[in-house]
């Protein structure tokens, strides 16, 4: 059986999930598992777990792109091991990779390594850019969540609400409420 897996990172990526489902159906997928959750949040990727559990010997799991399935080379290897342990294969449409063949297995490992290398280089450049901006005094970072709610905290406090109730209403900690009130004074 050909089994598809589609994933987008957020709920508002409707066109992305629909495009993946369309491509998976065109590739002959008889059953498609779909979810809209970040790849980093492995714990919540229930549909991926169900897709892997569903696989039987001779089946092929199909994804449109490698990044829809794995978040790193190590994660890709773990998933590939789980797939092959069941006697199934992995097919990645946009790369033309099918692990039913020795060439497909080789290409998956090479391209996975290149993708991880590119990601590491991008993160290194990002860190360098942030360090340079900080040194030049142009980078302040994101404002702390509670400080962005200073007007709401002070308004609720003026209404007579206590720190616990303000914290609940604004979804911040009690300590943050006290810090904001101290900063506003």
| Domains of the chain from N-terminus onward | 2-116 (3.40.50.1390), 147-184 (1.10.10)
* Catalytic residue list contains 9: yes
Res 98 pLDDT > 60:
yes
What is the Cα–Cα distance from 16 to 114, expressed in whole angstroms? 24
Mean of per-residue pLDDT scores for the chain = 88
Q: What is the mean pLDDT of residues 68-73?
A: 82
What pLDDT shows up at residue 31?
97
Residue 25 has pLDDT above 90, yes or no: yes
Q: Is the predicted pLDDT of residue 28 greater than 90, yes or no? A: yes
CA distance linking residue 166 with residue 148, whole number of Å: 14
CA dist 23 and 91 (Å) reads 13
Q: Which of 9, 38, 39, 173 is catalytic?
A: 9
The pLDDT of residue 41 is: 54
Distance CA 183, CA 24 (A): 54
How confident is the model at residue 43, as a pLDDT?
Answer: 55
Question: CA dihedral defined by 23, 25, 31, 33, rounded to 10 degrees?
Answer: 30
Say which range, 49-53, 54-58, 86-90, 103-107, has the weakest mean pLDDT: 103-107
pLDDT given for residue 2 in this prediction: 97
Q: Residue 141: which residues within 8 A CB-CB, separation 6 or more?
A: none
Q: What percent of the chain shows pLDDT beyond 70?
A: 95
44, two tokens = 């919540």
Percent of the chain with pLDDT over 90: 49
Mean pLDDT is lowest, of 13-17, 35-39, 103-107, 181-185, for 35-39
Instruction: Please report which confidence band the pLDDT of residue 51 belongs to, taking 50, 70 and 90 as the band edges.
Output: very high
Q: Within the chain, where are the H helices?
A: 14-26, 46-54, 73-85, 102-135, 150-158, 163-170, 174-184
> Do you know the residue count of the chain?
185
Looking at residue 42, its pLDDT comes to 52
Alpha helices in 7-72 (DSSP H): 14-26, 46-54
Question: pLDDT at position 1, please?
Answer: 96
- The Cα-based distances of 105 to 77, 90, 114, 178 in angstroms read 11, 9, 14, 57
Per-residue pLDDT at 27: 96
pLDDT value, residue 75? 84
pLDDT tens-digit series, residues 108-144: 888 877 877 888 898 999 999 999 998 998 887 776 7
State how beta strands 2-8 and 60-63 pair.
parallel
């Amino acid at each position: 059986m050909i089994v598809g897996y589609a994933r987008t990172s957020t709920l508002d990526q409707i066109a992305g999930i629909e495009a993946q489902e369309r491509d998976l159906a065109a590739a002959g997928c008889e059953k498609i598992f779909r979810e809209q959750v970040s790849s980093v949040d492995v714990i919540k990727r229930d549909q991926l777990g169900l897709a892997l559990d569903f696989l039987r010997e001779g089946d092929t799991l199909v994804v449109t792109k490698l990044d829809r399935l794995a978040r790193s080379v190590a994660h890709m290897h773990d998933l590939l091991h789980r797939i092959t342990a069941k006697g199934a294969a992995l097919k990645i449409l946009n790369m033309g990779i099918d692990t039913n063949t020795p060439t497909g297995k080789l290409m998956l490992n090479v391209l996975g390594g290149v993708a991880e290398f590119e990601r590491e280089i991008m993160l290194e450049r990002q860190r360098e850019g942030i360090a340079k901006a900080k040194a030049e005094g142009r980078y302040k970072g994101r404002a702390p969540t509670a400080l962005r709610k200073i007007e709401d905290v002070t308004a609720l406090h003026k209404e007579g609400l206590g720190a616990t109730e303000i914290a609940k209403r604004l979804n911040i900690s009690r300590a943050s409420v006290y810090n904001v009130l101290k900063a506003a004074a």
